[in-house]
Structure 1
Amino acid sequence: MYKVIGFPRTRTIRVIWLLEELGEPYELDLAPPRSGAVTAVSPDGKLPVLIDGETAIPDSVAICTYLADRHGKCTFPAGTLERARQDSFTQFAVDVLDGALWTAAKNAFVHPEDIRVPAIKDVCRMEFARGLETLEARLGDGPFVMGDTFTVPDIIIGHCSGWAVTAKFDLPGEGPLYAYFKRLRDRPAYRTMKAKLAEAT
C-alpha cells in the first residue's frame, strides 16, 4: 500500500485524485507543510510526498507521472508522440497555470510579510487569464486535453481550476472551458477524493 504524506488544500489533492482514478489503496498521513514528518523525508518540506516501500518521492507531478506509468492508466506510453503531447500539457499546466497561482500565493501568505510584493498578484491574474485562453485553443473538441483519454495533465489542470476559485482568479462561467472543468469535477474519483479529504480533517 502506498503512503501519502500531505494535507488538504495543497497539491496533495492531485495525488489522492489519481490514486482514486487508479483504484489503488493508500494511507494518508496528514502533515502540514514543513512539519517534522515532511522534512524527515523531503528536505524542502513541501507537500505531497509519496512513500513507496523505503523510497520517498516528493513533488506532485513526479508522483503522478510515476503512478500513472507504473499502473498503465491515465497516461500514454513513454516514447510515443501521444506521450509527448501529454507531457506538453503537463508542462503547460505547471509553468503557466500553477506558476501564476503559486507566485500569487507566495506573495499573499507564504513569504514573510516584509518581502511580499502584493502588486504582483495582478500580473499573476493576467498570466492565468492568458493561460486559460491558450488552454481553450489547445483543448479542441475532445472531453479531455488528450481527446477521449483522461490523463495526468487533466488532474493538474483540474486542481488548478479549484485553486483559482480559492485565490479569487476569474474562471469562465460558460463555454468550452466551463464545460471541461465541470466534467473534471463530475468524475467519481474527484468526488471521492474531495469527500475523503474533508473527512480526514
Structure 2
Amino acid sequence: MKLYGSKNSRSLRCAWALEEAGASYDYERIWMMKGQGQSPAFKAINPAGKIPVLSDGRVNLTESGAIIFYIADKFPQGNLWPNDPLARAEAYRWFFYAVTEVEPHLWAIAQHRFALPEDKRIAALEPTSMWQLARSIRPIEKFLGQREFIAGDTFTAADIVTTHCLTWALSAKLEGPGDACLAYIGRMKQRAAYQAAMARETMEAERQEAAIAAAADSSAV
C-alpha cells in the first residue's frame, strides 16, 4: 500500500492509523503548497487533486475518515474499533463529533487565513468561527477530565481524529483546548505509533526538500 500525503495535513491521521495497525506501507509526499496536487500525474490518482490518498493496488481511496475505516477493517489486529457494539458506537460518536463539530470550524479559519485565494477570504468571519470552535471543544474537555481516552478505557480511531483536531487548534493558536485536552494530547503523542507516523512524514518531507535543493544546485552550475 502507498499513502500519498503531506506534512501538517490530514494524512497524518492515516499514517497514524497504519502505524497503530502494524501495516506495511510506502509514503509519498505531495507538496500541496508547490502545486503538486494539481499535477497530471497526481490527478490521475485523485482527480480532486487532494490528499490523503491510500492506494492498495486495487483502488485509490480518498477522504481521511474513509481511509481510517478501511484500515481498521483491513487490519483488525490494530483494534482501532472496540468489538462490543455499544463501545464501538461510543467510539463512532466521538470520531464523527470531531470531524463534524470541531473540524469544520478549524477549516473555516484556515480557509480565510491562507487556503483561499486572497480575494475570497473574509477575515471578519474568523471571530464567529473561533467562538463556534471553543463551544464545540467544551464537551471534549469535559469528557477528557474523566477518561484516559475519548471513547472510554481503550485507544480507538476516535482518538486519532480528536487528537489531530485539538493539535490543529493549538498549532493555529486557536481558542478551546483546556487543561484536560492538553494532558490528553500529551498522552496521545507519547504513543509509539503517533511518533512513527510523525517521523515518517518528517523524513519524507526532508528527503524531498533535499532532492529539490540538490537539483537546483546542479542546474545552477
TM-score normalized by structure 1? Answer: 0.91
AA matched with 2:30? A
Q: How many pairs were matched up?
A: 198
What code does the residue aligned with 1:200 have?
Answer: E
Q: CA offsets per residue over residues 111-132 of structure 1, 9 Å max, x none?
A: 1111111121211211111122
1:56-75 per-residue CA deviation (whole Å, 9 max, x = no partner) reads 10000110011012211211
| Structure 2 SS opposite 1:108 | helix
Which residue matches 2:8?
9
> Is there any run of 5+ residues in structure 1 with no aligned partner, and where?
none
Closer/same/farther in 2, CA of residues 3 and 131 from structure 1, 3 Å limit: same
Alignment correspondent of 1:195: 199
AA partner of residue 76 (structure 1): P
> Which residue matches 1:48?
52
Q: Distance in 2 between matches of 1:14 and 1:40?
A: 23
CA RMSD of aligned residues (A): 1.8
**Residues 39-84 of structure 1, C-alpha deviation per residue, up to 9 Å, x if partnerless?**
212222121000012211000011001101221121124x922222
Paired letter, 2:25 = Y
1:108 to 113, 125, 149: 113
| Percentage identity across paired residues of the two chains | 34
Distance of 2:165 and 2:87 partners within structure 1: 23
Change (3 A) 1:171 1:83: same
1:35 aligns to 2:35 (yes or no): no
Aligned-residue offset at 1:172: 4.0
Q: Structure 2 matches for 1:22-171, cutoff 5 A?
A: 22-33=21-32, 34-36=37-39, 37-72=41-76, 73-77=79-83, 80-139=85-144, 141-171=146-176
Q: For residues 56 and 149 of structure 1, what CA distance do their matches in structure 2 show? A: 30
CA contact under 8 A between 1:185 and 1:191: conserved in structure 2?
yes
In the alignment, residue 69 of structure 2 is paired with which amino acid? T
Larger Rg, first or second structure (1 or 2): 2
Q: Judging changes above 3 Å, is the alpha-carbon distance between structure 1 residues 173 and 134 closer, same or farther for their aligned structure 2 residues?
A: closer
Give the number of the structure whose residues are more often helix, by fraction. Answer: 2
* Cα offsets for 1:100-144 (capped at 9, x unmatched): 111111111111111111121211211111122111233462210
